[in-house]
Amino acid sequence: MPLIFLFFTTFSSLIFLSNASEEMKVALDKNWNFAPSVETISSDDIKFFNSSHTKELLNSSAGSWISRGSGQESLISLRSPVLTGSGACGSFLILEDSLPIRPAGFCNVNNLFEVSSNLASRIEVLKGPSSARFGGNALHGAINFKTLNIDEKNYLKTEVNNDESFKSSFQYQEDSSWTLGLSLNKDKGFREATGFDQQKLAFKAFSEVDDWEAQTFINLTNLNQETAGYNNSYKASSRLSNLNPEAYRDAKSLRLNSLLSKNKGDFSLQLRPYARHSKMRFIQHYLPGKPIEKNSQISYGVNFVTDVNSFDQHELSFGFNFELAKIDLEEFQPNQLTTSSVFNNAVRPQGLHYDFEVDTNLLAVFLSHVYITEENYKIFSNLRFERLNYDYDNLMLDGRTKADGTECGFGGCYYSRPADTEISFFDNSLRFGFSKKVENDEFFLQFSKGFRPPQINELFRLQKAQTIADLNSEQINSMEFGILSKGDNFSNKFVLYYSKKKNYIYKDNDASTVTGGKSKHQGMEISGTFNVEPKLIIKYALSFAEHLYDYSFASIGVLDGNLIDTAPRVYGSIFFNIFPVEKLTLQIEEEYMGKYFLDPANEYSYPGHFLTNIRGFYNLTSQLDINFSLMNVFNKRYAERADYSIFSGKRYFPGLPIQWRFGFSYLF
């Protein structure tokens, strides 16, 4: 019954398209974000970059690093190291019009490929704890993809590259009531036996229902990918080889929601029911035995926000979020392992390893308040309380046996299945601070607290002798100071931050998932634009940071004060936008990645790299543009990400060789 009601509510606005209005200007996140720590990538920039991977877009955000994996895979860093493991994605929230694209507790480390980034009207990168508004997974930050704009012109954009790959995006509308976007990508990959086919569709409709304005959005994505794993070199000619030609990833997602909005007296009301579904199947080629994982989720909920407009000098908002989800996960090893060590051959059996279901429910309430004094000081505060409940049902035998109950050697199988259980996490988060405008500068100071509950894979996908994971929610406290400056020919953001994280979840030397780690994060970000002259605009996004372990665990190489692995001190990009002649726009991007360590003990490192990318477009007519780019102009051999494993040593995801891209865009 709830699902029927939800779908009815979501699609109801489509009935009233004849009464459609202009696109609603909603303030769903008014006063919830720390302005100096938010970067906005505009619709014009999204179309100009025409990115083949979200990493290329996020280079324009200081303190953000999207580590490109194979195909459309990625790992995220927002004022943090590049995190890995089953809980890594839990530290960053991916949003679509301010709604998480996955249910709480079940993120996907590669979930950027479930978002239609090239169809977005803009992208907001929120760095630092954002849990007060968005909840648990916004521990280090969030990336919010704003969906199709109704006022965009119809367009068709296509592109080919030297790998004989093709991509295209398309948006169409006939009036102010609806718009449709489509993105297609067929990439052959620059490494052997790689490549992907990807399709994304986005649809938005606007209408009026009595005195409510309705905005309905539907998003569909499909990815079929041949995957490459790590390589033992990023310099040798073998860097383009693929040691895992059997690897693949197939993923689908569907999301739909309706934003219902109205003004009633002194209140602005926003009600948003939503539903989401995703499923994925892939080979875990990085594990001995190469088991196949299948997972899926269906979730639905409602988000409600009210702005109160009746107070002078005060801005008040409050709301709640209620969500239900059903999650399924299965891991199956199709073949008997015979090619690994005697230990691995014995403890990683053929057949099912995990098969479980988890029902979740989430309830959160939140409040925002802003007070503007007569001296134009702005004092702001947000508060959130959240309860997340997991109801776990193991569909196999409990413990460390094979699926049929027989024992593995060496004391038991590697995979451990806990007994059925129900676990709840109660968390709270807050932020408060003030800002003051002085002539052309605005000064900000903020304290914020964020959290993330343990993910389903951390709690129920155990290994070796562990039968229960007694975990607490990770927590982070952060202090930020920022300055926004604007002049006749420049705008600039300057931010200093210091954060401490506790209850860090990690694996000990027995492969048990435990809590209690600590870390410190401190840094400086500088971003902005400088108009040197009418024919030259310089944009910059630079980060200077230290991410340090704040505890010791010698058996896994962690020492208090060591730099966290995959956490460069310096990185960023500078963009030179040049307009040499009328109708021609050129952009030269200088991308810098500093040195970083590959292991907790800081014994192995990657030296960093420096890349040059060139993009441009030329207006042939008022409707037709030619777009072109040359990536990695000097054909540098570099690593998108470097890592270290005690089993295989140094390992790398090799970077993109020199690549040209050419296409056109047509407005109609």
What pLDDT sits at residue 32?
A: 72
φ, ψ of residue 88 in degrees (nearest 5): -60, -45
At 259-317, the pLDDT tens digits run: 999 998 889 999 999 999 999 999 999 999 999 999 999 999 999 999 998 788 899 99
C-alpha R_g of the chain: 25
36 secondary structure, DSSP code:
G
Residues 6+ away with beta carbon under 8 Å from 515: 454, 470, 471, 472, 474, 503, 504, 505
Residue 108 binned pLDDT confidence (cut-offs 50, 70, 90): confident
On average, the pLDDT of the chain sits at 92
CA quadruple 188, 192, 193, 196: dihedral sign: negative
CA–CA gap between residue 129 and residue 475 (Å, rounded): 10
- pLDDT exceeds 60 at position 14: no
589 touches 575 (CB < 8 A): yes
Residues 6+ away with beta carbon under 8 Å from 559: 549, 552, 600, 601
| Tally of CB atoms within 10 A around 266 | 10
One-letter identity of residue 593: M
CA quadruple 596, 597, 603, 607: dihedral sign: negative
C-alpha distances in angstroms, 404 versus 124, 353, 355, 397?
Answer: 50, 11, 13, 8
CA–CA gap between residue 230 and residue 232 (Å, rounded): 7
Which residue matches tokens 């015979």?
338
Residues 6+ away with beta carbon under 8 Å from 75: 66, 67, 69, 82, 83, 84, 88, 109, 641
Residues 6+ away with beta carbon under 8 Å from 428: 383, 384, 385, 386, 449, 451
What pLDDT sits at residue 616?
A: 96
Q: Residue 229's Cα: distance from chain center in Å?
A: 21
Which residue matches tokens 């099912």?
352
Which residue matches tokens 């470097």?
642
Of 139, 121, 148, 141, nearest to 40 by C-alpha is: 121
At 451-508, the pLDDT tens digits run: 999 999 999 999 999 999 999 999 999 999 999 999 999 999 999 999 999 999 999 9
351 touches 333 (CB < 8 A): yes
Which of these CATH numbers, 1.10.580.10, 3.40.1170.10, 1.20.1440.120, 2.40.170.20, describes 2-220+237-434+441-620+630-655? 2.40.170.20
Q: Residue 11's Cα: distance from chain center in Å?
A: 27
What pLDDT sits at residue 596?
A: 98
At 460-471, the pLDDT tens digits run: 999 999 999 999
Q: List the beta strands (DSSP E) in 419-488.
A: 421-438, 441-452, 462-463, 474-486
- β pairing state of 92-96 and 141-146: parallel
Residues 6+ away with beta carbon under 8 Å from 656: 68, 190, 631, 632, 640
**Degrees (nearest 5) of the Cα angle 11, 146, 209?**
30
What pLDDT sits at residue 305?
A: 94
Q: Where in the chain are the domains?
A: 2-220+237-434+441-620+630-655
Count CA within 13 A, CB hemisphere, residue 104: 30
255 touches 218 (CB < 8 A): yes
CA–CA gap between residue 666 and residue 570 (Å, rounded): 39
| Mean per-residue pLDDT, 144-173 | 93
CA quadruple 502, 506, 509, 514: dihedral sign: positive
At 618-668, the pLDDT tens digits run: 999 999 999 999 999 999 999 999 999 988 899 999 999 999 999 999 999
Residues 6+ away with beta carbon under 8 Å from 237: none
One-letter identity of residue 127: K
Residue 330 binned pLDDT confidence (cut-offs 50, 70, 90): very high
Q: Residue 581's Cα: distance from chain center in Å?
A: 38
